[in-house]
Amino acid sequence: MYEWIIQNKDLIKLFYASLIAIICIVITVRADKLFRLSLHQGIRYFRNAFIFYALAFIVRYLVEAIAGHGRITLYYPYINFCFEFLLIMAGFFLLYSLLWKKAEHSSEGYVSSLFNSRIFIFYSMSVIFAIVDVLWQTHLFLFLSQILIFMFAAFISYENYKKNDAKHKFPKFYFFAMLLSLFVWILNTTAELWFNWSQAILIGVYILNIIIFLLFLWGVIKVTKR
């Protein structure tokens, strides 16, 4: 089984990226419908997070799989920069969807969710992290940013789960998805720092990522299927 996976690595990567990109697009479309109806800022930032996740996976894996690994070697730093930038932004949007109530006031009115002063801070940080990672040929700033983001997100979603008083079942699973995401980023860091990108660890990361995105999708479909 393990041998088969290693031999068909590129095909599996293509399947993995396509699956996650499709999940993210479904979540985006469903969240966008609810946002257009309610103009709720939290739903808007949540939707944005999944737009960025979808773009990140399309840029990183699908472009590589479609163009062929050899042909894009020259462009790899640019692709990697885009991938890291989009992934970090997605993490920021997901965290901000949990925090926006504390940072924004209803009197501010509706401004663009992609171009405003607060989001500009996220853009700046994402660009800096992605550039440093590309220059140093590492992924450590991406990993570190995501570990911090998901530590905060796990803490906030735990508070939400406690506040929920068993009214809904999903906040427990959302907290679990955040914890699992945190674990995946720690696993990624471990793979780079101490295990020389062990294939076995990476397969584990892929499987866990699919579980995490399926959990998000399940939560969205559960509410919006009516």
Partner 1 sequence: MAKKRERLGVIKDILRAIMKNRQIKPTRLLYASNLSPQMFKEYINELISKQFIKLDIDKKEKKTFSLTPKGQEFLQEYKMIEDFIENFGL
AA letter at 149 = I
Using CB under 8 A, list all residues that contact partner 1: 31, 34, 37-40, 42-43, 45-46, 97-98, 100, 106, 156-157, 160, 164, 167-168, 170-171, 174, 219-220, 222-224, 226
Shortest Cβ 3–partner 1 spacing (Å): 41
Q: Which residues contact 58 (CB under 8 A, 6 or more apart)?
A: 17, 21
End-to-end CA distance of the chain: 40
Closest CB to partner 1 among residues 9, 40: 40
Cβ nearer to partner 1, comparing 3 with 165: 165
Closer Cβ to partner 1, 31 or 134, answer by number: 31
Phi, psi (rounded to 5 degrees) for 138? -140, 175
Which residue lies nearer to partner 1 by CB, 71 or 101?
A: 101
Sign for the pseudo-dihedral over CA of 61, 63, 65, 71: negative
R_g over Cα of the chain: 18
Tokens standing for residue 67:
């163009």
Smallest separation, CB 1 to partner 1 (Å): 36
Q: How far is the CB of 157 from partner 1 (least distance, A)?
A: 6
How many Cβ atoms from other residues are within 10 Å of residue 165's Cβ?
8
Least Å distance, CB 141 to partner 1, is 27
Cβ proximity to partner 1: between 32 and 192 the closer is 32
Q: What is the rounded CA–CA span in Å between residue 33 and residue 204?
A: 34
Q: Closest distance between partner 1 and the C-beta of residue 222, in Å? A: 8
